[in-house]
Amino acid sequence: MSYQALARKWRPRHFADVVGQDHVVSALTSALDQNRVHHAFLFTGTRGVGKTTLARLLAKALNCQAGPDPTAEPCGECSVCSAVDEGRFIDLLEIDAASRTRVDDTREILDNVQYAPTQGRYKVYLIDEVHMLSGHSFNALLKTLEEPPPHVKFLLATTDPQKLPPTILSRCLQFNLRALQVDEISGQLEKILQAENLEFDEQGLATLARVAAGSMRDALSLLDQGIAFGNGRVTADEVRDMLGMIERRHVEILLRALAAKDAVTVIETIADMAQRALDYMAALDDLLLVLHDVSLYQVAPDAARAKEADTELVVELAGTMPEEDVQLYYQIGLFGKRDLPLAPDAASGFEMTLLRMLTFSPESDGPNNTPAVARKAPQPDSRAGRTAEAPSAARATGNSTPAKSSAPDTPPAEETNPIVADNLADPDIWAELVGKSGLKGVSRELAMNLAPKTFSGNVLTVALKPSLAHLHSKPRQKTIEKVLSAFAATAVRLQVVDGAEDAPETPAQNQQRHAEEAKAKAYQTLMDDPVVKDIMERFDATVVPDSVRPGPANRKGNSR
C-alpha cells in the first residue's frame, strides 16, 4: 500500500479531533444539536487551520445515516461518513473557486442546485477560496445563496474575507478560524509521533511548530520532512539542520556578546555561522524570540515562568542587559528582517543587523556602564594605541580633553571621598553622594529621586514615588549599589520601597532647596550692599528678585 501523507492520514474525523478551534466547534455542534443549521456558512482563516476540514465534518454531520437528522457526532463508519472521508460522497460538491472563476462555471454549478440529493439528506456545496470568484460569478451566486432550496447547504471557505462583497457576507454565518498556538501544534505532533511509534524530542517538535506559523497542515508537512531527514527520528539538531537554522549555541554566544558589547565575538561567531547554509531570516527569528522572553522576564517574571520562558539564558540576560537595550535590539532585529532581502547577500545583511545593535546601543547605564561600541584595549607599549584611546574616551564622556583612565560608572580615584556608612540615611549626605557619583542617564535620574529612610545591616532603604516607578530596574539598582559601595568603602545594598508623602528629602529636592537658599542669600547680600543701596536711592530703582543669580561660591557643591 502506498504511503499516505500525515496531513491526510491524521485529518480529523470527528469534531472532537479538531485542534485549536473550540469556539467554532462549540457553535457548530450546538446548532446541530438544536437542529438550527443555517443554509450558508463562511469559514475564514489562514492556510492549514481547518477550514475545509470543518466543512467536511459538517457535511458528515448533516448526512450521517447512523445518527438523528442532523447529528453533532457522526458515526464515521456508515457509507456516507466513509464516502466523505474518502472524497467520493456524491452529494458533497467541492469546488475550487481559484480555477473556476468564470460566470459560466458558476452558472453550470448552480443549475444543479434545484435537484434533490442522490445519496444523503442534503446536497452540500463546498466552495474553497471563494474570494477568487469574479464579480459576475458573485452576482450569479447571490440569488441562490439568498433563497436556496431546503435540501442545499453552502459552505464557503476563504483566506481573504475582505475581498468578498458585503452582499455575500451578509447572507452567511461567518466563523473566523484562528492561527494555532505553538503548544497546540507541538502537542498534536507529539500525539501523532507516539501513535506512529517514532522517536522525537520536545525541542524538535517546538521548532517545527514555530516554523509552521499557526498552520497545522504546514506542521504536518514539515513533520513528514523531518521524519525522512532524521531517518525516523525527529530531534532538535536534525530539525535545525533540515531547516538551515542557526544552532542554539550560536544564539547564546551572540546574545551574550551583545550584552557585553563584544563586537569581536559577534563578528567571529557570524564568520563561524557562514560555514553552514543558514536561513538568516530564521536566525533573526531565533534571536528575536529570546529577546522577547528576556523582556517578558524583566517586566513580568511570573508570566515568563508561566510560559516556561525562564530558561538559564533568559534569566542571565535579563539581569545583565538594560531593558532599553533589549527593546532596541528587538526593534533593530525587526527592521533587519525587513531589509534582509535588499542586502547584497543574506549573510552580510545579518551581520549588518547585529552591527547596528552594537553601534546604536544607547549609552548603557547598566552594570559596568559599558561603552556603546566595544573597543580593543591599547597595548601597554603602543604609543599610537594610547593616543587613539584617549580621544575616544573624551568623545564617550562628552569632554573636549582626553579623559583620565577610570571605570566609566565610578568616579576617578582622586575624587572618591569615602563617606561614613552610618550617615548614608542623612538626606544631605545622600544628595552629596549622588552629586559626586558620576552616574549618568536614567540611573542618575533614578538616584536623584530616591529618598533615604534607614540604613541598617549594610542595607539602605530608599523610597520612590509610585509615579516614578518606571525609572526603577534591577540593572540600574545594581549600578547605583556599585557606586554607593565605592563611596561608603563597604558593600551596600538598596531596598526600594514605595514613597509616601512624608518621605525624606530626595537629592533632587535637596538640590532645589539649596539652589533656592543660595538664591535667597545672594539676593539678601545684594540688597545689603551699600553701593546697591546708594544706586537704588539715587535713581529710585528696584531689584528684580528673579534676576539675581548666586555666584559659584554661593552654590552648594553637591551638583554638577
Q: Give me the residue label for grid cell 545594598.
A: 493
pLDDT band at 1 (very low <50, low <70, confident <90, very high): low
Closest CA to 409 of 367, 360, 362: 367
Residue 303: inside a domain: yes
* Joined grid coordinates for residue 544: 528684580
For residue 239, the model assigns a pLDDT of 86
Same domain, yes or no: 316 and 172: no
Residue 27 in domain: yes
230 and 163 share a domain?
no
Question: For residues 56 and 126, is the Cβ–Cβ distance under 8 A?
Answer: yes
13 closest CA partner among 97, 77, 96: 77
The tens digit of pLDDT for each residue in 276-318 reads 767 888 889 889 999 999 999 888 888 888 877 778 888 888 8
66 and 150 fall within a common domain? yes
pLDDT single digits (tens) 72-97? 888 888 989 999 988 889 999 888 88
DSSP 558: T
What backbone torsions phi and psi does residue 348 show, to the nearest 5 degrees?
A: -70, -35
Closest Cα partner for 558 from 511, 521, 489?
511
Cis peptide before 12 (omega within 30 of 0): no
Cell of 548: 539675581
pLDDT the model gives residue 383: 36
How many other CB atoms sit within 10 Å of the CB of residue 79? 14
- Over residues 461-476, the mean pLDDT reads 84
Number of domains in the chain: 4
536 and 557 both lie in a single domain: yes
Residues 136 and 260 in one domain: no
Q: What pLDDT is attached to residue 432? A: 83
254 and 293 in a single domain? The answer is yes
Check pLDDT > 60 for residue 378.
Answer: no
Query: What pLDDT score was predicted for residue 86?
Result: 87
pLDDT attached to residue 195: 92
* CA gap 154, 502 in Å, rounded: 71
Distance (Å) of CA 87 to CA 63, 222, 390: 14, 24, 77
Domain of 353: which CATH number? 1.20.272.10
Residue, of 341 and 438, whose pLDDT is higher: 341
pLDDT of amino acid 364: 43
Over residues 385-397, the mean pLDDT reads 39
pLDDT-derived band at 467, boundaries 50, 70, 90: confident
Question: Residue 188 sits in a domain of what CATH number?
Answer: 1.10.8.60
Q: How many helices (H) and strands (E) does the chain have?
A: 24, 10
Same domain, 348 and 255: yes
| Cα–Cα distance, 414 to 407 (Å, whole number) | 13
Task: Provide the pLDDT confidence category of residue 372 given band limits of 50, 70 and 90.
Answer: very low
pLDDT higher for 479 or 412? 479
Tell me the C-alpha to C-alpha distance, in Å, between residue 345 and each of 251, 274, 341, 348: 20, 11, 8, 6
Looking at residue 365, its pLDDT comes to 43
Q: Tell me which residue has cell 561567531.
A: 269
The tens digit of pLDDT for each residue in 183-194 reads 899 999 999 999
Asked if the model's pLDDT at residue 409 lies above 90, the reply is no
pLDDT band at 388; cut points 50, 70, 90: very low
pLDDT at position 411 over 60: no
Q: What distances in angstroms separate CA 167 from CA 100, 105, 141, 414, 523, one per listed residue?
A: 20, 20, 10, 81, 80
Residue 422 DSSP symbol: G
Contacts of 193 (CB under 8 A, 6+ apart): 199, 200, 205, 223, 234
How confident is the model over 258-268, as pLDDT tens digits? 988 888 999 98
Quickly list DSSP for 165-210.
Answer: -HHHHTTSEEEEPPPPPHHHHHHHHHHHHHHHT-EE-HHHHHHHHH
Torsion of Cα atoms, 321 then 324 then 330 then 336, to 10°: -110
Average of per-residue pLDDT values in the chain: 80
pLDDT for the residue numbered 444: 84
pLDDT of 500 reads 67
Give buried/exposed letters for 136-153 (b at 16+ CB in 10 A, else e).
ebbebbeebbeebeebbb
What is the pLDDT, as a whole number, of residue 362? 61
Does any domain span residue 287? yes
Predicted confidence band of residue 332 (pLDDT cuts 50, 70, 90): very high
Domain range for 202: 182-243
pLDDT tens digits, 426-452: 888 888 888 888 888 788 888 888 888
Read off the pLDDT of each residue in 152-165 and give the average, rounded to a whole number: 91
User: The domain spanning residue 512 has which CATH number?
Assistant: 3.30.300.150
Range from 137-146, 390-399, 513-522 that averages highest in pLDDT? 137-146
On whether both 336 and 470 belong to a single domain, the answer is no
pLDDT at 552: 58
pLDDT given at position 291:
93
Same-domain check for residues 259 and 235 = no
404 in a domain, yes or no? no
The verdict on 169 and 257 lying in the same domain is no
pLDDT higher at 443 or 172: 172
Single-letter code of the amino acid located at 53? T
Q: Within this chain, do residues 130 and 76 fall inside the same structural domain, yes or no?
A: yes
| pLDDT tens digits, one per residue of 204-244 | 898 898 888 889 999 999 999 999 888 888 988 888 788 77
pLDDT, tens only, 98-136: 787 677 777 877 788 888 888 888 999 999 989 988 888
307 in any annotated domain: yes
Are residues 545 and 495 located together in one domain of the fold?
yes
313 burial level (CB within 10 Å; 0-12, 13-18, 19+): middle
Share above pLDDT 70 across residues of the chain, in percent, rounded to a whole number: 86
Rounded CA separation 214/512 (Å): 56
Q: Rounded to an integer, what is the distance from CA 167 to the centroid of its chain?
A: 38
